[in-house]
Structure 1
Amino acid sequence: MDSGTDTPIAGNETKQCLFIEDDAGTLFSQMIMIAEIIVGLSGNILALWIFIFRMKFWKAHIIFLLNMVLADFLVLISVPFRIHTHIRGDYWVFGEVWCNANLLMLAVNRSASIAFMTIVALDRYFKVIHPYHWISRMTLTQAGWLSALTWVAVIALRIPLLTTNLLHNDGNVSQCRSFNYYSVIPVGVKIHYVVFFVEFFLPWVLLLFSSARIACYLNRQKKEAQKRVRRAIRAVAVISMVFTLCFMPSVITGVVALFIRNLFPTKCELYNRVSLVFRECINLTYLNSALDPFIYFYSSSMFRNILRSSNCFKKDVNQVHKC
């Protein structure tokens, strides 16, 4: 998880495990991130165009989906700098200020994406299970306030990152990482670590609960009432799959790396292998920007209908018209 660990040796001295770069892993990371940028940028520009120019009637869940689009643009702005760094052998050349800002935007994107994914899933849950609850009847104003409070909470939890210099010197190479080796972990980074893990497990439990409850409710419904419930469970299922694919690998490998570092500090080779896997898994978290348009499609019938009626997707006898 970090770039090294302490290995006890004679006396009170310690030495740091050497972190070994994996050229194959670096090339894989570059390819993944470039694909994420290309797919994510095109998908989210299309989604933003639909939300702003084609959406005639707005509902609360549309507000939440729009905020997911806005969160995704934080990744699309930040990831090109990570690609540049990977190409230069993990050498960050943009200075301390932009290093902190870059890592802050990536962290805020992760937190905001998780938060709004969870809100959209819970909105679908309440619409089906508790249709007369005030949450199911949330107004646009209330949805706007909830979105604003979510952003405030997300940014407040991530601001502590700015209290620490995240630019580390490894010989002649400057590395920009929030997960790195610290002889004493700064308070701001500790908060970052805690948020990284907690913000995954709590929403994940809520997503599993929502999926299970909607599935049970579906089995009790008559056939004529099942169509609406099926749409809801499909939306929650897509959110759960995107959530799990993008965020679970980095959380699991991060936990394992911390476990090895704290309980088996002499296992440098094993620790480095897990750290390399963790770094590759971190790149999967950026994948949510490319997969979120699937959530918009399955979570909103209005978005889906606009997309289907667009000239981009109309077929004639000989060809498919492209945008």
Structure 2
Amino acid sequence: MTAEGTKLHCDVSTHNLVASVLPPVLIIEMLLGLPGNIMAIYVFCKNMPSWRTNVTFLFNLILSDFLLLLSLPFRVDNFLRGEKWIFGDAWCRINLFMLAVNRSASIAFMTAVAFDRYFKVVHPHHKINHISSRQAAGVATFIWAAVIALRIPLLANHLLNTDNNSSKCRSFSNYKSPSLGIHLHNGVFIFEFFVPLILLIFCSVRIACILRSRQMDKDKRGQRAIRTVLVIVGVFVFCFFPSIGTGLTALFLKTLKEKYCNAYNLTSQLFAMSIAFTYLNSALDPVIYCFSSSLFRNYLRSTLNRTGVIQLQLSRRGSTYSGSD
């Protein structure tokens, strides 16, 4: 969500600060995110016949990250030019669409991984724990279809804002009369944070309570289950809360910006820079792979062992384990 609105008596100029701070940060995130995600794609594709539900969701989480990594260089170029978009309106729409889909899909598949772990621990005999790889792929396809459908309005709206010979490509721009599609985009932005957050907290609490009641909270597998969901919650809040927090604050101050001009201006700048946390999600997702899949975990361990610098013990289930632990 953005803080930009119609300019009345409060001039919100964010491009100087954004242009100086964001490009190097985004480049670092890109360089950190690519190796981990490429490695994860290699590991999961190599072991595709042994996939189970959570690996299917993790693989789709990787795909959503690549949508971001493919789009990010254009945003870096945009910020380096002081928010002057040179690639035209059509690519502006596609670029913002891909970025929005990445955010929504990442949140959806992180939640799916947490729910998979929740059912395995809290309801171990539930039929959902025995769905086939084909059925898990069907669930993933449905998630993609829902995410894309909700973000289609970004392709249907004119998003390139030309003002004073400067073209700005923003999903939330200086709309005097926002269209229904833009209102839908705003609503999805808010909904996709708070609803998954409630579900993730629910999964964490229930898993911890059940393991404690079964006296399994000290067991290695029980501790791993708790850590997996807590890592997902931690990455989720750390990456997505800054944008939703500053965005909602800016929307509130927007109605009072004639009175609180400086506060509105500051919040607008904070929101613009908060997207660095959103994009950081793609660099941090490999941490989730480590906690959620023994396939990825064992590959990292064996790679480190081959260097001779450090020796780590592989999972007892071996490197071909499906990743359900």
CA-to-aligned-CA distance 1:266-323 (integer Å, 9 cap, x gap): 422221110100011122111111011110110112221122123x54342699xxxx
The 3 A distance-change label for structure 1 pair 251 and 160 is: same
Identity within the alignment, %: 48
Equivalent residue runs for 1:102-251 within 5 Å = 102-222=95-215, 226-251=219-244
Alpha-carbon distance in 2 for matches of 1:229, 1:4: 49
Tell me how large the CA RMSD over aligned residues is. 2.0
Alpha-carbon distance in 2 for matches of 1:59, 1:318: 30
Alpha-carbon distance in 1 for matches of 2:217, 2:117: 19
Alpha-carbon distance in 1 for matches of 2:217, 2:263: 56
The 3 A distance-change label for structure 1 pair 248 and 318 is: closer
CA-to-aligned-CA distance 1:6-30 (integer Å, 9 cap, x gap): 5xxxxxxxx3531223634432211
1:277 maps to: 270
2:320 maps to: none
Structure 2 counterpart SS, 1:81: helix
Residue 290 of structure 2: which of 286, 293, 297 is its match?
A: 297
Residue 316 of structure 1: which of 299, 308, 312 is its match?
A: 308
Instruction: Tell me whether 227-236 or 260-269 shows the greater mean CA deviation.
Output: 260-269
CA-to-aligned-CA distance 1:146-170 (integer Å, 9 cap, x gap): 0000000000000011121100012
Structure 2 counterpart of 1:60, one-letter code: T
The 3 A distance-change label for structure 1 pair 222 and 266 is: closer
Structure 1 counterpart SS, 2:162: strand
Residue 46 of structure 1: which of 39, 52, 55 is its match?
A: 39
1:32 maps to: 25
Q: Is the 8 A contact 1:4 1:17 kept in 2?
A: no
1:11 maps to: none
The 3 A distance-change label for structure 1 pair 230 and 271 is: same
Shift in Å, 1:61: 0.8
Q: How many residues are treated as equivalent by the alignment? A: 311
CA-to-aligned-CA distance 1:122-169 (integer Å, 9 cap, x gap): 100110000011122221111010000000000000001112110001
Structure 2 counterpart SS, 1:222: coil
Instruction: Tell me whether 45-54 or 260-269 shows the greater mean CA deviation.
Output: 260-269
Structure 2 counterpart of 1:181, one-letter code: N
2:250 maps to: 257
Shift in Å, 1:220: 1.9
CA-to-aligned-CA distance 1:211-269 (integer Å, 9 cap, x gap): 11111122223359722221111110111111001101100111000011124544222
Structure 1 counterpart of 2:306, one-letter code: K
CA-to-aligned-CA distance 1:169-205 (integer Å, 9 cap, x gap): 1211100001212111111111111000100000000
Equivalent residue runs for 1:68-87 within 5 Å = 68-87=61-80
Alpha-carbon distance in 1 for matches of 2:142, 2:59: 15
Alpha-carbon distance in 1 for matches of 2:279, 2:72: 8
Structure 1 counterpart SS, 2:71: helix
2:3 maps to: 2
Structure 2 counterpart SS, 1:168: strand
1:20 maps to: 13
Structure 2 counterpart SS, 1:136: helix
Q: Is the 8 A contact 1:235 1:299 kept in 2?
A: yes
State the TM-score, normalized to the length of structure 1. 0.91
5+ unaligned residues in a row in structure 2: which ranges?
Answer: 312-325
Q: Is the 8 A contact 1:108 1:155 kept in 2?
A: yes
Alpha-carbon distance in 2 for matches of 1:64, 1:99: 29
Instruction: Tell me whether 186-195 or 102-111 shows the greater mean CA deviation.
Output: 186-195
5+ unaligned residues in a row in structure 1: which ranges?
Answer: 7-14
Structure 2 counterpart of 1:259, one-letter code: F
Alpha-carbon distance in 1 for matches of 2:297, 2:20: 36
Q: Is the 8 A contact 2:15 2:82 kept in 1?
A: no
Structure 2 counterpart of 1:129, one-letter code: V
State the TM-score, normalized to the length of structure 2. 0.91
Alpha-carbon distance in 1 for matches of 2:18, 2:86: 21
Instruction: Tell me whether 15-24 or 182-191 shows the greater mean CA deviation.
Output: 15-24
